[in-house]
């Protein structure tokens, strides 16, 4: 249950583009320098964001990447799904079943129930966060986090 490199860099890149503002754009070399990754890798990450419909690309001179919609219309949960998939998917128990066709307890599995609960807990945060929220500074973001319904206590490690 770790963040993948795709998720980490993908979200950071999207935030950078968001910072460029309405109509502003960022090129691959700029992104590469801003995040400290190779241009080729930045290109690969930006491709995922483009295919997910979060950014638009313009080619040629004066080209670059731009948000496909206003920042407040980009839900971070959707971005994360595009970048790295979900913790619990219905297909999960099929693909982690060893030699058996499915989890040997699939008709009545308390573990599955726990995974679902974890997934929902994560979704509660990610489905309420938009790119607009991430364009704030860290302190404002911390304040925002505490407003998530059902997430009282989230300040404990801030």
Q: What is the largest CA-CA distance in the chain?
A: 59
Rounded least distance, CB 150 to DNA, Å:
29
| Binding flag, residue 61, its own copies (CB under 8 A) | no
CA angle 79, 85, 89 (to 5 degrees): 130
Q: What are phi and psi of 26, to 5 degrees?
A: -130, 140
Other beta carbons within 10 angstroms of residue 21's beta carbon come to 12
| Binding flag, residue 148, its own copies (CB under 8 A) | yes
**Torsion region of 63: left, alpha or beta (phi above 0 gives left; psi -120 to 50 gives alpha):** beta
Rounded least distance, CB 131 to its own copies, Å:
10
| Residue 22 binding result from ligand FES, DNA, its own copies, none, given CB thresholds of 5 to 8 Å by partner type | none
| Residue 58 binding result from ligand FES, its own copies, DNA, none, given CB thresholds of 5 to 8 Å by partner type | DNA
Rounded least distance, CB 60 to its own copies, Å:
27
| Binding flag, residue 40, DNA (CB under 7 A) | yes
| Binding flag, residue 58, DNA (CB under 7 A) | yes
64 touches 27 (CB < 8 A)? yes
Rounded least distance, CB 61 to its own copies, Å:
26
Q: Rounded to whole angstroms, what are the CA distances from 132 to 7, 23, 96, 105?
A: 18, 15, 37, 43
Rounded least distance, CB 58 to DNA, Å:
6
- CA dist 9 and 5 (Å) reads 6
75: helix, coil or strand?
strand
Q: Please list every residue from 61 through 120 that binds ligand FES, using CB under 6 A.
A: 93, 103, 105-106, 109, 111-112
What residue ranges bind ligand FES (CB under 6 A)? 12, 93, 103, 105-106, 109, 111-112
């Amino acid at each position: 249950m770790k963040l993948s490199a795709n998720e980490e860099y993908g979200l950071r890149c999207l935030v950078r583009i968001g910072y460029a503002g309405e109509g502003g754009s960022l090129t691959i070399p700029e992104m590469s320098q801003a995040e400290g990754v190779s241009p080729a890798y930045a290109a690969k990450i930006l491709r995922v964001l483009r295919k997910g419909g979060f950014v638009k690309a313009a080619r040629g001179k004066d080209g670059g990447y731009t948000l496909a919609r206003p920042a407040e219309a980009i839900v971070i949960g959707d971005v994360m799904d595009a970048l790295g998939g979900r913790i619990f998917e219905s297909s999960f128990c099929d693909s982690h079943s060893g030699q058996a066709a499915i989890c040997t307890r699939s008709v009545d599995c308390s573990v599955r129930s726990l995974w679902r609960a974890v997934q929902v807990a994560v979704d509660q945060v990610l489905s309420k966060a938009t790119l607009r929220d991430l364009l704030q500074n860290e302190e404002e973001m911390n304040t925002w986090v505490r407003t998530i319904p059902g997430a009282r206590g989230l300040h404990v490690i801030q």
